[in-house]
Amino acid sequence: MVERGIVIINTGNGKGKTTAAFGQALRVAGHGMRVCIIQFIKGQWVTGEGKAVKLLGGRIELHVCGTGFTWQADREQVIEAALVGWRLAREKISAGAYRLVVLDELTYLINYGIISEDEVREVLSSRPEGVDIVITGREAGDGLIAVADLVTEMREIKHHYRQGVAARKGREF
């Protein structure tokens, strides 16, 4: 019997959504099981997590499907990159070859109207049984939360950004 996979959502305005998703991925990969991570919206700049994944030698498959351009200036490109990522996500989920599929910052695609919440729900509900999914991003909608099994809100209590402390290599990227 296949153990049932679950849908995990890391949402909220505090820090830790993406890093928790990578922690989950590390845990799965450590057991020798396959992981696919798709990062939406974000650009192609080098991140510590991207470098670390390379060091693991293919145990975690990482796809960065963002443009790195600003939303206002390159709206068409942002949408195109997001749709390419979403197509890939559907393929990877339905393949059933991964124990875990991470859809990092997916909520923005729904919140910006690039894809519909119903479409995401459909892909999640028709996925192969054993696949765990992690979705991250602020403001996960009620419809998404309804089909999830585990939802955690990272709530900002303090953020160093408010004191003017800039993003730092190894901490924010």
Active site residues: 13, 15, 17-19, 27, 69, 71, 105
With CB under 6 A as the contact rule, the residue among 8, 81, 102, 154 that binds ligand ATP is 154
Radius of gyration of the chain (CA): 16
Q: Are 14 and 162 in contact (CB under 8 A)?
A: no
Min separation Cβ 20 and ligand ATP, Å: 7
Sign of CA dihedral 37, 42, 45, 48: negative
The nearer residue to ligand ATP, 24 or 92, going by C-beta atoms, is 24
Strand partners, 132: 100
Which region, judged by CB under 6 A, interacts with ligand ATP, from 51-59, 106-114, 121-129, 153-161? 153-161
With CB under 6 A as the contact rule, the residue among 8, 9, 17, 85 that binds ligand ATP is 17
Q: Are 21 and 134 in contact (CB under 8 A)?
A: yes
Which region, judged by CB under 6 A, interacts with ligand ATP, from 11-19, 32-40, 51-59, 69-77? 11-19
* Helix axes 17-30 and 48-55, enclosed angle (nearest 10): 0
- Residues 4-33 binding Mg ion (CB under 5 A) are 17-18
Instruction: Give CA–CA dist 8/96, Å, rounded.
Output: 17
19 is a contact residue toward ligand ATP (CB under 6 A): yes
Q: Under 8 Å CB-to-CB from 86, ≥6 apart: which residues?
A: 40, 109, 114, 115
The nearer residue to ligand ATP, 5 or 66, going by C-beta atoms, is 66
153 is a contact residue toward ligand ATP (CB under 6 A): no
Residue 139 burial (CB count, 10 A): 12
Q: Give contact residues for ligand ATP (rule: CB under 6 A).
A: 15-19, 136, 138, 154, 159, 161, 172
| Binding positions for Mg ion, rule: CB under 5 A | 17-18
